[in-house]
Structure 1
Amino acid sequence: MSESPKLVCVGNLTVDEAVSPRGERVESIGGDALFAALGATVVRGNPTILAPLGTDAPVALLGALRVAGTDPESLPLRDLPMVRNVIRYDDAGGRVWDLVLGEEHFEALSVHPTDVSDDVLSASGVLLSAMALHAQLDLAAWLRTRTAATIYFDPQEDYLAGHVADVLDAVAACDVFLPSEVEAAALAQTADLHAAAATFLALGPQAVVIKLADAGCLVASSVDPEPVLIAADVIEPVDSTGAGDAFCGAFAAEHLRSGDVHAAARAGAGVARIAISGPGVSALLTAVTSVGGVPR
């Protein structure tokens, strides 16, 4: 069997502390690049990670990187501590994120063009997960003129206010746009997600996938512009952190392999279901190391 197309998962690596409504605190490893690469690995993709490491990276994170197909020594090293988040959950399942070391530190621990090697530029696909705003937007524009890779773009809800035009420029520079429902509505300035998908397709992407959490996703493409709902099996979530990132990694891996956006969406939904079934990256790590993987 030939090797799957190479996918580079670009983003951040983090150390997260979850605080329950009762005040219980649990530290775990995370980061969108790790969740995405594990998601791609579950569906037998061929991912590698591009994300800076800080000087205090936990041993557990280094081990998870290896499981996800990346040698930690190959990653950019910053002379700074890791990105740390405190995530406070409420009784209704809502959560509030606190970036402990601030935005400037987050920007420094994001990926910049100087971190991108020729090996990355020669990959079949590049998934740009949500980093600091300017880092992600600058990288999207920089990559578009330097690689023939399929570029997958996953934005961040928190930075959209005041930056809609800039983010839409990045949408125009990508091949597959992967917003959440909230992000799609904010960027297209409409609650009509079918209209939002049409707006994004008109900017130039080959496909638009609007993530709808436990309702699945809407998929539209330049070949089939009428959005199709890909439903997801509903389960009681243990931890929803990283589910969208895992979805995007699995989607990109399957899309690169088959070119089928609907099959890719089903793969993403299956991996997201796994991701939310355990705390942090634990369920994904278990799935990667199991024999069965995830059905496609």
Structure 2
Amino acid sequence: MIPDLVTVGGLTVDNVVAADGTVGLAKAGGNGAYSAVGALMWRPAVGLVSAAVASYPRETIRRLESGGLDLGGVVWRDEELTSSNWFIYDAEGRREEGLSSPPGALAEAGFPTDRLSPSQTSQWREILRARSTTNEISYSEFRNRHPLSQRQIPPAWKDTRAVLLAPSQPDVMHEMLDFFKPGGAVVIADPGWQLAEHKLDQLAPLLSKLDAFLPSEVELRALVPGADLEHALRVLSDYCPGALAVKLGAKGSLVWNRVTDTPASVPAEATETVDPTGAGDSFCGGFLVGLLETGDAVQAARFGSMSASRIVAHFGADGALLAHPDGASALSQKAAMECR
């Protein structure tokens, strides 16, 4: 069966320290997994194009598959990571990037593995900042050695209706566009730092092919330096003919209205946040479904907000599915009722 929707992105194993100090160790994540689950909340089946290390939790894979994830586009590599990401959040939901360690490092350093006090969190952050990662195999290194390729995608997936490109290098996004776009698929992209570190003129050939572009506030400010959000979206609209929205975390999103040449605000869904990891990715997965179903960017952002609210209420990419043992179909029915 050809999946209706496909997400293209990574599969990682992450460690999280939530704002209240709660620790989530070795949680299965990655922008590909979070994007796919964001879409699975609305659709019974979603395809994934990714590359997975041998150490990715197989139990998580089984849960994702039972929830509707089609792994026909995933390549499994006989390689294990020796270092994994750490996401340490403050009360405003901000996190520091680039922190990593071997999985057991927290316990080996003498810290509790269930909850850290504020002082312990600060100490652990400083340890991570100071440590050398020279000889460790991180996900970033793995991704650079094994870039995604259209050769790994089942040929029948050329006819899928919609595709989300999670953050990847521009050459990977171009290759995926060359595969999916000729079949008429709606293709949207989440830039991540991989695109945000480039100039808009360099990205123009890619942006011109997209049906939606969904940067975060940080990424939009990097793409259009010195501009306020409204002006930055206006500038971006000259490069991308598709829908535009900037993700603002707990403040929701701003969606560009091409008719009025002004942004429309879409609030975030009220929820208790346990782990913000993957919120932006799952927003994009929900946005893709909403854009496909309604053709309206504001409505699509509402779908995205609801997907994000489900993700942040749990640890890990599969957390929302674990909370609903009937799987994605039960989630999608509940979400559809709430969005009406």
Q: TM-score, normalised by structure 1?
A: 0.85
Q: Alignment partner for residue 249 of structure 2, among 206, 209, 213?
A: 213
Q: Which of residues 6, 11, 14 is equivalent to 1:13?
A: 11
Q: Is the 8 A contact 1:216 1:230 kept in 2?
A: yes
Please state whether the residue corresponding to 1:80 is helix, strand or coil: coil
Tell me how far apart the structure 1 counterparts of residues 83 and 278 of structure 2 sit (CA, whole Å): 15
Q: 1:90 to 1:249 in 2, by over 3 A?
A: closer
Distance in 2 between the 1:206 and 1:216 partners?
20
- More deviation in 279-288 or 259-268? 279-288
Matched, 1:52 2:88: no
> Once the 2 structures are TM-superposed, how far is the Cα of residue 8 of structure 1 from its aligned partner?
0.6
Asked if 2 retains the 8 angstrom alpha-carbon contact of 1:112 and 1:135, the reply is no
Partner residue in 1 for 2:298: 262
CA distance in 2, matches of 1:91, 1:185: 21
- The two structures have a TM-score, normalised by structure 2, of 0.75
**Aligned residues of 1:152 and 1:175 also touching (Cα < 8 A):** yes
Moved more, 285-294 or 119-128: 285-294
Distance 2:84 2:305 in 1: 26
Q: Which amino acid aligns with 1:11?
A: G
The total of aligned residue pairs comes to 293
Is contact 2:7-2:164 (8 Å) kept?
A: yes
CA-based RMSD = 3.0
Q: Distance in 1 between matches of 2:304 and 2:16?
A: 25
Q: Which blocks of at least 5 consecutive residues in structure 2 are unaligned?
A: 101-136
Q: The residue matched to 1:209 in structure 2 has which SS?
A: strand
The Cα shift of 1:117 comes to: 3.5
Aligned to 1:76: 75
Aligned pairs for 1:1-296 (under 5 A) are 6-19=4-17, 24=23, 26-44=25-43, 46-72=45-71, 75-81=74-80, 85-89=84-88, 91-92=90-91, 93-97=93-97, 98=99, 101=138, 103-131=140-168, 133-139=169-175, 142-143=178-179, 146-157=182-193, 160-161=196-197, 165-223=201-259, 225-285=261-321, 286-287=323-324, 288=328, 290=330, 292-294=333-335, 295-296=338-339
Query: Match of 2:50, as an amino acid?
Result: A
SS in 2 for 1:76: strand
1:192-223 alpha-carbon deviations (Å, 9 max, x no partner): 21111121221132210111111111112545
The residue type equivalent to 1:115 in the other structure is Q
C-alpha change, 1:260 and 1:237, in structure 2 (3 Å) is same
The CA distance in 1 between the partners of 2:181 and 2:307, in whole Å, is 32
Identity %: 27
Structure 1 pair 171–82 and aligned structure 2 pair: CA distance change class (3 A): farther
Q: Which amino acid counterpart does residue 63 of structure 2 have in structure 1?
A: A
Corresponding residue SS for 2:7? strand
Distance 1:5 1:254, change over 3 A: farther
Q: Which range moved further: 237-246 or 270-279? A: 270-279
- Asked if structure 1 preserves the Cα contact closer than 8 Å seen for 2:189 and 2:214, the reply is yes
Offset of residue 10 of structure 1: 0.4
- 2:4–2:45: 8 Å Cα contact kept in structure 1? yes
Q: Which deviates further from its counterpart, 16-25 or 107-116?
A: 16-25
Distance 1:70 1:165, change over 3 A: same
Change (3 A) 1:85 1:191: farther
- Distance (Å, rounded) in 2 between the aligned partners of 1:234 and 1:255: 22
SS state of the match for residue 53, structure 1? strand
